[in-house]
Amino acid sequence: MWIESIDIEGFGCLVNRHYEFPRDKVVLIVDENEQGKSTLVAAVLAGLCGFPTRRSSGNTIRPVDVYRPWSGGPYRVKLCLEAGGSRYCVERDFNRNTFVVRDLFTNVDISRNFSTDLASDFLRLPREDYKRIAVISGKEVSLFDSSPTIRERLTAVVEGSENSVGAEVALDRLQEARYRFEGAEIQPETAIKRIRDQITQREHTLYELDRKLEEADRDVQQLDELRRKRRELEEKIRELDREYELSRLSEVRERIAVAERDRQKHSELLEELRNLEQYASFPVKQADQDSLIRIRSTLESISQARASLEEAREKCEAVKRDWVSRVRKSSFPLGALSVVLLLVGLFGRALNYSSITTAAVVGLAVIIAAGAVFLYRGKSVQDEARVHLGQAERTFEQIADAAILRLRDLGVEADEKSDLVSILSSTGDRLEKHLEYRRLEKELLSLEERLLNDSEFAGLREEEKKLSERVGTQTIPDSCRQPSEIDRERQEAREESSQLGEEISELERRIGGVVENYRSNYSATREELETLRSELRKVGMFRDALALAGEVLKEVALELRRRWADVLNDRASPILSHLNPDYNDLRFDESLNFTVCHVDSDRVIQKNEIDSCLSTGAKDQIYLSVRLACCLALSANGESVPIILDDVFISFDDDRFERGFRYIVEEIPGDQQVIMLTCHRARHQRFEQEEWFRERVHLVGMD
Amino acid sequence: MRFVQFSDCHLGYVGGGALGLPDEKKAELRQDIQRSLEKACELARENHADMVLIPGDVFDFESLTPEITSFLVYVFGNLKPIPVFIAPGNHDSLQAGSPYSPVSGVSWPENVSVFMSSTFESICLPDLDCSVTGIAHTHQGISDRLLSSQITRPDAGITILLFHGSREGYRPSEKENVIPFSDAELTSQGFTYAAIGHYHAFSEITDSNGRVIGAYSGCIQGRGLDETGEKVAIVGEIGPDGSVDLSTVEVGQRRVVSVEVSITGAGSYQSLRERVGRGIESAGARPQDLVNVVLTGNISTGLNLTAIDTELAKLCSQYFHVRVDRSHVNPDYDIDALLVNSAAAPLKSEFVRRIQERKNSTQNLDEIKLLDYALHLGLSALDNRPLEPRNVD
């Protein structure tokens, strides 16, 4: 492409200007500073590419307004150019925002075939890329003093990151990116680890809360069971209460009945005692009970002995009477039988019947013998009765002696001559009465021991009344258990119920605690977990996106540098040799690190020495070499890229300036358009008469 | 037979995390949910409903307070004599501490019937020639396919199935899969109507003939980003022929309104405010609503992303709550310009091109999202801008 001319109706400080850029000539525009050289460069750029539609970061003025003429009026440029064998006229009115491309031969408007950025269309270099590659300013070239390394500047050129950082810095930034978590800026991976740890912790907390709640479920079942048991037990206790009341009522009523009987008995005893009071101190006041018992025993013995004696006497008399009676009863038959036998014997003798006589004699003998036996036995029985009687009399006498002694002990006068029977009779009676008195007295005491007092009796009555009211119409069963037995059972049931109550309370406390703990912590923990999971997704995606961006950026940067390294290795070294013959063999590696050979010393300056060993001027020359190499490489691959050099040799000494200038004029091919602008008129004036200058340079002023 | 159906009240729980609700607004929203429930109950009285069907998640177990229990007892008690049937869901499931439990000591009004078994049970209403068959979730929720086998259906003119379950094919990813069922399985059960809870949006289920066989009423009050729009209770009518006619009545006190606003090209805060204002207005947000504004597009140079909240404060104060999501806003990169073919092949362009190539070669939305994220992080890194993480939910 060749920019043939530019007509400026109004652009910044330039008004109604026309500049020609003849073919095969290096256009050298020389004028003082502040005459509009940079504005002319901007006008060429605006004519070719238009203005960016977006303001750059930090700028408040739109790019199109930067060069709006201060005095108003037209804001227009017209550019004529040749590209691809065709010639075009490009008219831009920035006031009206119009853009027209005409075919210079036909004058036909062919704008529709183009975008507003003709550098992009013709050169495949969008405005910014064209500007970055082909518009070289001396100010940029000499910026190395303020730049960290030359390599970074070169990298910025080939990567197109003039207004941004290079790939390496960007990769470092992606690598070192931080994520804010819990107030700290940490690496995403660290944040992920921490968040995962916290998630695990929260999940564990939730798991534990759930597990405890499930366990509490079992407790609830147990609680349900215990409550059921307690209800049953309480029902049983109520039943026992009812049974107890009935039983107690029955008992109370019985006790009342007993008490009433006792009270009656008590009255009777008192009456009886009053009746026997005369015997209270008889026979002796101080006789103890044992003595009285013994005396009564003695008296009873005497009575018995006397009875035995009487019995023995009676028996003796009876035996005697029996004997007499038997004798009377048997004496007549035996006598009659003996007479008969005697008569028979006599008769037999008389008749001489000896057998009859013998039989009668034998009969008589038998009768006599039987009579003898009878008499003997009667005598024996009487003797036996007499012996028995004698013994009874002796026994009686012995006992009577003892009785007399006992009676004397009791203070009753008696001796052998006394009518013991009578004494005994009267004493025994009194003694019986006395003993009866004492028994009654004892019974009274015993009764009084259990006899309820009025208050107790009233209490029983009251209890009976209350129980009756409670029991109501219930019937007291015929056979019911003792209240004590019921109460014992009831007590056991109550104890069991109380124990169940404690277990229930304990379970309720436990369940309540678990549920309360669950409710206190679950929601908050779940929310924390959700937040953490969201945070994890966020940081995870951040990490992944950073990694992906880094991966792609690294890949792209590597390819880009590799490609540019090849280009620069081909083209930059020869240019450098022209600009500065002290150096040659400029070699770039894939990272755009480079080495350069110092000709005089034949020393290769290694990439790590570049910044320290090279002079600022040498760095400037390397930079310019690279810029020009880039332009030439792009031109070689397609449409020639017009190069605009704005005082690029500003920092070069005269010798290097001459070398540089002559390289541009003499070495760059004639079909490669170069437009140079400078304020150093004197530097160029000395070449104006040179043939190479006259042949190849088109010198113009800004006017 | 007329019924009112509502569920998923989640009394006591207000997440609001994603909406960024402050505590005082959460408290207010809790009260709103109670008011929504009261309104749903009022609906039953107004419509002379024969019954109220509540398929679960009346409250959130972990957020339950004695006050909420008392409120429920009071509100349901006020419905007498209208019977109320509750089939506990996975959030108000039967577990230790549940007020439904007989050991809880809570005395539910006699018109309230809570299904207490983890297998289906039926309650017959002879007067209505109707039966309600329901089930209760236990602690962690039932995940078995209970509808794959035949549920005993009482012999009644109208048979209603009441449960808290997950309709296959419609389950939001964050929802637990409880009692999963397919439409075919529900149809094969042969119940006249199934009142289902669990999902938070209203939806009808029809059989192959287009007859309504069940419905989710959705939640009664939106609380999160996924609960936008009207929240309703169902007023249903079951005809003698078994036909089901459903209508919905909004009971939610507030709506969650989500709106996307592109700020690309908004060159000033004034313009940005206007865009957001128009966006909210066009989404139909009312002053009492919760509004989620997702800013998208590119922020113009000169506008500060972090200053947007301050700039929108006055606008936001016109609504109950406005959450502005700035995380989808991209720096003002002219991606198209960067993609223009350049012989110089600058790094930035090549980077964008390579990312775009990757985006074009995949259909995976997550991958595309990640590539887009990487694109802007890479460009930010190259431009020395802060590398800001963005929200991904």
- Model confidence pLDDT, tens digit, residues B26-70: 999 999 999 999 999 999 999 999 999 999 999 999 889 999 999
Residue A285 has pLDDT above 60, yes or no: no
Q: Do A170 and B378 touch (CB under 8 A)?
A: yes
| Per-residue confidence band for A146, with pLDDT thresholds at 50, 70 and 90 | low
What is the pLDDT at residue A160? 75
Judged by CB atoms closer than 8 Å, whether chains meet at A56 and B378 is answered as no
Instruction: Give the pLDDT confidence score for residue A148 in this predicted structure.
Output: 62
pLDDT tens by residue, A530-581 = 889 989 999 999 999 999 999 999 999 899 888 889 888 989 999 999 988 8
User: Which of B15, B103, B371 has the CB atom closest to A220's CB atom?
Assistant: B103
pLDDT value of position B22: 87
Q: How far apart are CA B173 and CA B170, in angstroms?
A: 9
Mutate to test the interface with B, among A548, A559, A627, A634 (most CBs of B within 10 A): A548
Tokens of B386: 């802060």
Q: What is the rounded CA–CA span in Å between residue A650 and residue A482?
A: 131
Give the A window 417-446 contacts with B, CB below 8 Å: none
- Nearest by CB: B103 against A223, A522, A552: A223
Asked if B344's CB is within 8 angstroms of A164's CB, the reply is no
A147 pLDDT more than 60: no
Candidates A128, A131, A518: best to mutate against B (most CBs of B within 10 A) is A128
Q: How close is the nearest chain B Cα to the Cα of A100, in Å? A: 21
Query: Closest approach of chain A CAs to the CA of B245, in angstroms?
Result: 38
Whether the predicted pLDDT of A56 surpasses 70 = no
Give CA–CA dist A556/A350, Å, rounded: 198
The pLDDT value recorded for residue A45 is 95
Residue B61 DSSP class = G
Contacts of A55 in chain B (CB under 8 A): 301-302
Residue A464's pLDDT band, with cuts at 50, 70 and 90, is: very high
- Which of A57, A126, A177 lies nearest to residue B301, judging by beta carbons? A57
Question: What residues 52-71 of chain A have any CB closer than 8 A to a CB of chain B?
Answer: 54-60
Q: Residue A569: exposed, middle, or buried by beta-carbon count in 10 A (0-12, 13-18, 19+)? A: middle
- Whether residues B96 and A514 touch (CB distance < 8 A) is answered with yes
Q: Do A548 and B371 touch (CB under 8 A)?
A: yes
**Mean pLDDT, residues A496-510:** 91
Among A124, A165, A552, A627, most B C-beta atoms within 10 A, so best to mutate, is A552
Task: List the 198-257 stretch of A: residues with Cβ below 8 A of B.
Answer: 210, 213-214, 216-217, 219-220, 223-224, 227
Q: What is the pLDDT at residue B226?
A: 83
pLDDT for res A143: 58
- Convert the pLDDT of each residue in A351-390 to its tens digit: 877 788 888 888 888 888 888 888 888 888 888 888 888 8
Report which of residues A366 and A300 the model is more confident about.
A366
Question: Contacts of residue B328 in chain A, CB cutoff 8 Å?
Answer: none
**Average pLDDT value for residue range A5-12:** 94
The residue with greater pLDDT, B15 or A528, is: A528
Q: Annotate A353-388 with DSSP letters as a single string.
A: -HHHHHHHHHHHHHHHHHHHHHHHHHHHHHHHHHHH
**Tell me: the pLDDT tens digits for A570-591?**
899 999 999 888 998 999 988 8
| CA–CA min distance A56, chain B (Å) | 8
Highest mean pLDDT (candidates A140-149, A544-553, A622-631):
A544-553
Chain B CB contacts of A638 below 8 Å: 343
| A531 contacts on B by Cβ (under 8 Å) | 17
Q: Pick from B138, B343, B351: which is nearest to A637 by CB? A: B343
Residues of B in contact with A125 (CB under 8 A): 342-344
pLDDT classification of B243: cutoffs 50, 70, 90: very high
Contact map slice: A 472-511 vs B, CB within 8 A: 511
Q: Which residues 255-294 on chain A approach chain B with CB closer than 8 angstroms?
A: none
* Cα-based angle B214, B216, B218 (whole degrees, multiple of 5): 170
H or E element in which residue B232 lies = strand B232-238
- Shortest Cα–Cα distance, A463 to chain B (Å): 38
Confidence of residue A283 (pLDDT cuts 50, 70, 90): low
Average pLDDT over residues A25-45: 91
* Chain B residues touching A527 at Cβ < 8 A: 15, 17
What does the pLDDT read at residue A83?
Answer: 93
Contact call for A527 and B15, based on CB within 8 A: yes
Give the nearest chain A residue to B95 (CA atoms): A217
pLDDT at A164: 62
Least confident of A292-301, A342-351, A602-611, A691-700: A292-301
* Cβ contact A523–B62 (<8 Å): yes
By the CB < 8 Å criterion, does A514 face chain B? yes
Distance from CA of B385 to the nearest CA of A (A): 9
- Is residue A256 scored above 70 in pLDDT? yes
The answer to whether the CB of B218 falls within 8 A of the CB of B204 is: no
Candidate from A123, A174, A523 with C-beta closest to B63: A523
Task: Tell if the CB–CB gap between B370 and A161 is shorter than 8 Å.
Answer: no
Q: Which of B387, B388, B390, B391 to mutate to test the interface with A (most CBs of A within 10 A)?
A: B387
* pLDDT value of residue B102: 82
A645 with A675: CB under 8 angstroms? yes
Of B141 and A489, the one with more pLDDT: A489
Query: What residues in B contact A177, CB-CB < 8 Å?
Result: 377, 381, 387
Please count the other Cβ atoms lying within 10 Å of the Cβ belonging to residue A255.
Answer: 18
Q: Which residues of A449-463 are buried (b: 16+ CB within 10 A; e: fewer)?
A: eeebeeeebeebeeb
Confidence class of residue A11 from pLDDT cuts 50, 70 and 90? very high
CA distance B2 to chain A (A): 37
pLDDT at B139 over 80: no
A681-696, pLDDT tens digit by residue?
888 888 888 999 999 9
Chain centre to alpha carbon of residue A413: 107
| Chain B residue with Cα closest to A557 | B347
- Interface contact A163, partner B, CB < 8 A: yes
* pLDDT reading at A501 higher than 60: yes
Q: Check if A576 contacts B (Cβ < 8 Å).
A: no
- Using CA atoms of A340, A345, A349, A352 in order, give the dihedral in degrees to the nearest 10: 90
Cis peptide before B81 (omega within 30 of 0): yes
Per-residue pLDDT at A293 exceeds 80: no
Interface test with chain A among B68, B327, B377, by most A beta carbons within 10 Å:
B377
- In this predicted structure, what is the pLDDT of residue A71? 78
Residues in chain B closer than 8 A to A223 (CB atoms): 103
A219, B95: Cβ pair inside 8 Å?
Answer: no
Closest CB to B96 among A56, A515, A557 = A515
Amino acid occupying residue A44: V
**B351/A556 Cβ within 8 A:** yes
Chain A nearest C-alpha distance from B183 (Å): 31
CB atoms within 10 A of CB A30: 20
Closest CA to A340 of A322, A313, A325, A360: A360
Residue ranges in chain B assigned as alpha helix (H): 23-46, 66-77, 183-189, 269-282, 308-316, 335-339, 347-360, 365-382
Can you tell me the mean pLDDT for A423-428? 75
Phi-psi region of A464 (alpha: psi -120 to 50; beta: other; left: phi over 0): alpha
Global pTM reads 0.65
Q: Given this model, what pLDDT does residue A57 score?
A: 53
Q: What is the mean pLDDT of chain B?
A: 91
Taken in order A337, A343, A348, A349, the sign of the CA dihedral is: positive
Average pLDDT over residues A465-480: 87
Q: Is A637 on the interface with B (CB under 8 A)?
A: yes
Q: What is the mean pLDDT of chain A?
A: 87
Residue B224, pLDDT > 90, answer no
Contact criterion met (CB below 8 Å) for A562 and A158: no
The widest CA-to-CA distance across chain A, in whole angstroms, is 247
Edge-to-edge strands, sheet with A674-678: A135-137, A643-646, A674-678, A26-30, A697-700
Q: What percent of chain B has pLDDT above 90? A: 68
